[in-house]
């Protein structure tokens, strides 16, 4: 439908095939051209923190444009957290000082929660938790709703909403006289607009979520989207049915989404009393602490690999980051893989729940690979699985399968990125993500005085580990802003500007 | 390590130094004649303590804490560890002070007040306001320069 708006219909295809566009070419296709120096594509959290940084670095709103299909920057994130069982009152897996609304991380979310508490216990609890985190307590993490509220306040403060143009970005192409064209298809029949900019920032989020192959085959072959669901799509019907009748559910994956889903299943079972049995399938069953050396031992147990956050904390600003910044090629891949992998948070509540469920016999975790999933009698599917280390297969009749593996699709499944890769504006790093410099500029993507940057999940494999985290997005934005400051697009945020801007933030004043 | 050293020197010398300069006149000396030479003596003691926190930190403590940090998968240093550091560091500074400055004009309770509050102020600053002054500090392993 979006393509039809660009009459004649073949124009978009023709434009796509031309690597570098001229003003004449774009104008000749009947596309309106708008000039703006800096365009960010995506409009999610990556775009938001980039705009935030540039506003703090002295850029006026008029020089910035966010091209997005989202209504607000945290819309997609809010959706993904909600369906994966983190409501606004639930806690994220994020550090207290990772504040997408506040580049300084001060005051941290724990301090803000303490200050806003109405009683002494509410005041002391988050402070005690953050003080003793990972020693006497679990890591303190903010509530989703607190983060969303803070981002709304920051978006209002910096004039974010004035920078937004809604629509679907179809293409980003180099311009023959330098810089780029970004083609936006407005919603509901609006005329396409080409934004002519010197800088482009790509923050398109996850290229897409991917199902496990066996589950994808099942859904394609049998058209059943009811019994086999993904953790990141709405699947409330699973809990509703189990709460009414009980049943057996398979949860696949060893990450934070699996933990959240198990929490929901066990909490519901306790609340409603129906006999829900849980089979937790893991590709690798982690018995205990593991790692290549005494100095690289990660906690684990009960099937899980434990880690506070998506990556070890030092990868955002400590020795982990320093090491990664020096590594290239396979050396970087190796370190990323050692520090990465699927992990979950080691939370007392979850460990207590699972211990109890194990004792009562309704939860078991096992390492196995799935050979096949087929429908059986109405209401059940059969999972044929091969337990790790065994030659035979086992069949399980279950009511639901929840895929919480969180597999990410390849870059090429995102049309804008696919096109950029096709035309050589973007290249891949050794891990398959976008190849970016330490400044998060696309390597080889420069066009005259124009520069193109990227941030977020698409840059996985770069010199930073947690690229798809709050702090990772902020680091990427800061590096890009610093790079832009070197060529005079904005001010560098030095000591004086940092203090002055923080003071404005604290008082809720415009940057 | 470079970040640890820079953070140690900046926070102790500037933050700790300013705080110590402010509270030293409030500390009693033993005996307590309120004359200028006694105040000067107090400053010698308290500022020596600041200097020792910085110097011993660079030479002895930071390498040790860094080594211990290597046993943590996260390679982080939880806030409570920073507070606990005060126990051995404070004891060693007191012991060295006693040998450097004869007379021991600051008694234990007042030493604890001086050292303890200085430590708490440094703790508060590096867990918050430091990030405002030096925006990139926390992303660069504590390096200021």
Strand partners of residue A248 = A277
Across the interface, do B75 and A136 touch by the CB < 8 Å criterion?
no
Cβ contacts of A318 on chain B, cutoff 8 Å = 3, 75-76, 141
With beta carbons less than 8 A apart as the criterion, state whether A253 and A279 touch: no
Q: Is B133 on the interface with A (CB under 8 A)?
A: yes
Per-residue pLDDT at A187 exceeds 60: yes
Q: What is the mean pLDDT of the segment spanning A459-483?
A: 95
Q: What are the tokens at A72? A: 């607000």
| Peptide bond preceding A206 in cis form (omega within 30 of 0) | no
Q: Give residue B35's pLDDT.
A: 58
pLDDT value at residue A7? 42
pLDDT at A390: 85
pLDDT per residue over A348-372, tens digit each? 999 999 999 999 999 999 999 888 8
Mean pLDDT, chain A, rounded, equals 91
Find the CB nearest B133 among A295, A297, A499: A499
A446 in reach of chain B (CB within 8 A): no
Q: Is the minimum CB–CB distance between B108 and chain A shorter than 8 Å?
A: no
With beta carbons under 8 A apart, name residues in chain B contacting A502: 132
Cβ of A131 within 8 Å of Cβ of B79? The answer is yes
- Binned at pLDDT 50, 70 and 90, residue A408 comes out as confident
pTM given for the model: 0.91
A301 interface with B at CB cutoff 8 Å: no
pLDDT tens for each residue of A132-163: 999 999 999 999 999 999 999 999 999 999 99
Contacts of B84 in chain A (CB under 8 A): none
User: Are β-strands A180-185 and A168-175 bridged in parallel, bridged antiparallel, or unpaired?
Assistant: antiparallel
Q: Which residue of A has its CA nearest to B137?
A: A317
B14–chain A Cβ distance below 8 A for any pair: no
Q: Sheet holding A164-166: strands in order across?
A: A164-166, A64-68, A38-42, A199-202, A451-454
- Closest to A365 (Cα-Cα) out of A253, A282, A305: A282
Using only the alpha carbons of chain A, give its radius of gyration. Answer: 24
Euclidean distance between CA atoms B73 and A90, whole angstroms = 26
Q: Which residues are CB-contacts of B27 (< 8 A; sequence separation ≥ 6)? A: B42, B46, B106, B110, B113, B114
Three-state secondary structure readout of A109-148: HHHHHHHHCCCHHHHHHHHHHHHCECCCECCCCCEHHHHH
Q: CA-nearest residue of chain B to A132?
A: B80
Taking the Cβ of residue B75 and every Cβ of chain A, the question of whether any pair is shorter than 8 Å is answered with yes
- In this complex, the residue of A106, A134, A317 whose CB is nearest that of residue B139 is A317
A4 lies within 8 A of chain B by CB: no
Chain A residue with Cα closest to B68: A295
For chain B, the average pLDDT equals: 88
Q: How far is B128 from chain A, CA to nearest CA, in Å?
A: 5
A362 in contact with chain B, both atoms CB, cutoff 8 A: no
Q: If you average pLDDT over residues A211-234, what whole number do you get? A: 88
A128 touches chain B (CB under 8 A): no
Alpha-carbon distance of A393 to A372, in angstroms, equals 10
Nearest Cβ partner for B135 among A104, A107, A319: A104
- Res A1: pLDDT: 34
Checking if the pLDDT of A299 tops 50, the result is yes
Question: Looking at beta carbons, which residues of chain B come within 8 Å of A498?
Answer: 132-135
The pLDDT-based confidence of A110 (bands split at 50, 70, 90) is very high
In a mutational test of the A interface, the residue from B1, B68, B73 whose CB has the highest number of chain A CBs within 10 Å is B73
Nearest CA in chain A to B70: A295
Q: Which residue of A has its CA nearest to B138?
A: A317
Between B44 and A489, residue with greater pLDDT: A489
**How many angstroms separate the CA atoms of A75 and A81, rounded?**
10
For residue A416, pLDDT over 60 is answered with yes
- Annotate A79-107 with b (16+ C-beta within 10 A) or e (fewer): ebbebbbbeeebbbbbbbbbbbbbbbbbb
* Between residues A84 and B5, the one the model is more confident about: B5
Residues 35-54 of B with CB under 8 A from A: none
Distance CA B95, CA B98 (A): 5
ipTM beyond cut 0.85? yes
Q: Tokens standing for B58?
A: 């660079």
pLDDT digits (tens, 9 = 90+) for A266-293: 999 999 888 999 999 998 899 999 888 8
Express each pLDDT in A46-66 by its tens digit. Answer: 999 999 999 999 999 999 999
Which residues on chain B are in Cβ contact (under 8 Å) with A297? 71, 73
Instruction: Using an 8 Å CB-CB cutoff, list chain A residues near B80.
Output: 131-133, 135-136
Q: Does residue A506 belong to the interface with chain B, where contact is any CB pair within 8 Å?
A: no
Q: Which residues of A touch B139 (CB under 8 A)?
A: 316-317, 321, 475, 478
Q: How far is B132 from chain A (nearest CA, A)?
A: 6
Q: Which of A102, A291, A298, A318 to mutate: most B Cβ within 10 Å?
A: A318
Contact B80 A295 (CB under 8 A): no
Q: What is the pLDDT of residues B48-103, one digit of tens each?
A: 999 999 999 999 999 999 999 999 998 989 999 999 999 999 999 988 988 887 65
Q: Does the pLDDT at position A501 exceed 50?
A: yes
For residues B82 and B120, give the distance between their C-alpha atoms in angstroms, rounded to a whole number. 10
Q: What is the pLDDT of residue A3?
A: 37
Q: What is the pLDDT of residues A304-330, one digit of tens each?
A: 999 988 888 888 988 889 899 999 999
> Band of the pLDDT at A8, cuts 50, 70, 90?
very low
The reply to whether omega before B127 is within 30° of 0 (cis) is no
Q: Quick one: pLDDT at residue B36?
A: 56
Nearest to B134 among A314, A478, A495 (CB): A495
Which helix (H) or strand (E) segment is A68 a member of? strand A64-68
pLDDT in tens, A362-406: 999 999 988 889 988 888 899 999 888 888 899 999 999 999 987
Strands (E), A283-431: 300-301, 304-305, 363-375, 381-387, 394-398, 400-403, 407-408
- For residue range A324-336, list pLDDT tens digits in order: 999 999 999 988 9
For chains A and B, CB pairs below 8 A equal 85
Which of B3, B75, B82 should we substitute to test contact with A (largest number of A Cβ atoms within 10 Å)?
Answer: B75
Per the CB < 8 Å rule, is A307 touching B79?
no
Is residue A10 pLDDT above 70, yes or no?
A: no
Q: What is the mean pLDDT of residues A69-95?
A: 92
Cα–Cα separations (whole angstroms), residue B107 to A100, A440, A501, B30, B48: 47, 56, 44, 7, 15
Distance CA A484, CA A502 (A): 21
Contacts of A321 in chain B (CB under 8 A): 139, 141
Strand A394-398 and strand A209-210: the pairing is: unpaired
CB-nearest to A313 from B75, B79, B132 is: B75
Is A397 within 8 Å of A382 (Cβ atoms)? yes
A134 and B81 within 8 Å at the Cβ level: the answer is: no
Query: What pLDDT does B100 receive?
Result: 81
Burial class (CB in 10 A: 0-12, 13-18, 19+), A353: buried
The helix-helix angle for A144-158 and A109-116 (nearest 10°) equals 100
Residue A368: helix, strand or coil by DSSP?
strand
Interface-testing mutation among B6, B74, B80, B82, with chain A (most A C-beta atoms within 10 A): B74
């Amino acid at each position: 439908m979006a393509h039809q708006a660009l009459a004649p219909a073949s124009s978009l295809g023709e434009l796509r095939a031309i690597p570098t566009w001229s003003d004449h070419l774009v104008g000749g296709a009947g596309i309106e051209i708008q000039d703006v120096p800096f365009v960010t594509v995506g409009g999610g959290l990556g775009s938001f923190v980039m705009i935030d940084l540039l506003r703090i670095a002295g850029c006026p709103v008029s020089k910035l444009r966010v091209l997005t299909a989202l209504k607000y920057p945290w819309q997609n994130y809010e959706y993904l957290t909600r369906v994966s069982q983190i409501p606004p009152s639930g806690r994220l897996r994020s550090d207290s000082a990772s504040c997408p609304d506040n580049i300084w991380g001060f005051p941290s979310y724990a301090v803000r929660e303490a200050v806003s508490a109405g009683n002494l216990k509410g005041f002391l609890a988050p402070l005690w938790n953050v003080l003793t985190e990972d020693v006497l307590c679990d890591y303190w993490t903010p509530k989703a709703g607190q983060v969303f509220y803070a981002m709304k306040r920051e978006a209002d403060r910096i004039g974010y909403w004035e920078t937004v143009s809604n629509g679907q970005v179809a293409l980003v192409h180099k311009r023959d006289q330098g810089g780029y064209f970004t083609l936006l298809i407005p919603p509901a029949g609006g005329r396409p607009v080409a934004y002519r900019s010197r800088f482009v920032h790509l923050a398109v989020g996850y290229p897409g979520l991917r199902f496990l192959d066996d589950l994808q085959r099942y859904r394609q072959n049998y058209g059943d989207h009811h019994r086999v669901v993904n953790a990141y799509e709405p699947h409330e019907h699973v809990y509703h049915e189990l709460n009414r009748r009980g049943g057996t559910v398979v949860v696949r994956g060893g990450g934070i989404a699996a933990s959240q889903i198990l929490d929901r299943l066990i909490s519901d079972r306790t609340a409603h009393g129906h006999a829900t049995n849980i089979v937790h399938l893991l590709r690798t069953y982690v018995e205990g602490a593991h790692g290549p050396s005494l100095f690289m031992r990660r906690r684990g147990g009960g099937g899980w690999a434990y880690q506070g956050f998506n990556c070890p904390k030092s990868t955002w600003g400590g020795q982990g980051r320093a090491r990664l910044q020096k590594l290239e090629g396979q050396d970087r891949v190796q370190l990323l893989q050692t520090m990465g992998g699927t992990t979950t948070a080691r939370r007392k509540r979850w460990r207590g729940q699972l211990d109890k469920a194990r004792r009562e016999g309704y939860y078991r975790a096992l390492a196995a690979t799935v050979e096949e999933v087929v429908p059986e009698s109405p209401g059940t599917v059969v999972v044929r699985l091969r337990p790790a280390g065994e030659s035979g297969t086992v069949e399980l009749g279950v009511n639901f399968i929840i895929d919480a593996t969180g597999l990410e699709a390849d870059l090429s499944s995102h049309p804008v990125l696919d096109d950029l890769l096709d035309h050589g504006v973007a290249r891949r790093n050794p891990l398959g993500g976008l190849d970016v410099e330490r400044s998060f500029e696309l390597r080889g993507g420069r066009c005259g005085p124009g520069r193109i940057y990227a941030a977020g999940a698409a840059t996985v494999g770069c010199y930073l580990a947690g690229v798809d985290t709050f702090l990772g997005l902020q680091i990427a934005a800061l590096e890009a802003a610093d790079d832009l400051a070197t060529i005079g697009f904005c001010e560098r945020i030095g000591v004086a500007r940092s203090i002055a801007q923080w003071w404005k933030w604290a008082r809720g004043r415009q940057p | 390590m470079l970040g640890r050293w820079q953070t140690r020197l900046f926070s102790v010398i500037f933050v700790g130094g300013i705080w110590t300069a402010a509270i030293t006149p409030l500390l009693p000396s033993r005996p307590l004649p309120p004359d200028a030479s006694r105040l000067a003596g107090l400053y010698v003691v308290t500022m020596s303590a600041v200097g020792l926190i910085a110097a011993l930190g660079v030479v002895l403590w930071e390498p040790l804490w860094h080594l211990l940090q290597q046993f943590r998968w996260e390679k982080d240093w939880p806030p409570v560890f920073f507070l606990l550091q005060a126990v051995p560091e404070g004891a060693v500074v007191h012991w060295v002070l006693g040998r450097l400055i004869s007379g021991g004009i600051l008694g234990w309770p007042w030493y604890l007040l001086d050292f303890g509050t200085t430590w708490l102020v440094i703790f508060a600053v590096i867990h918050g306001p430091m990030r405002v002054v030096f925006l990139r500090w926390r992303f660069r392993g504590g390096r200021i320069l």
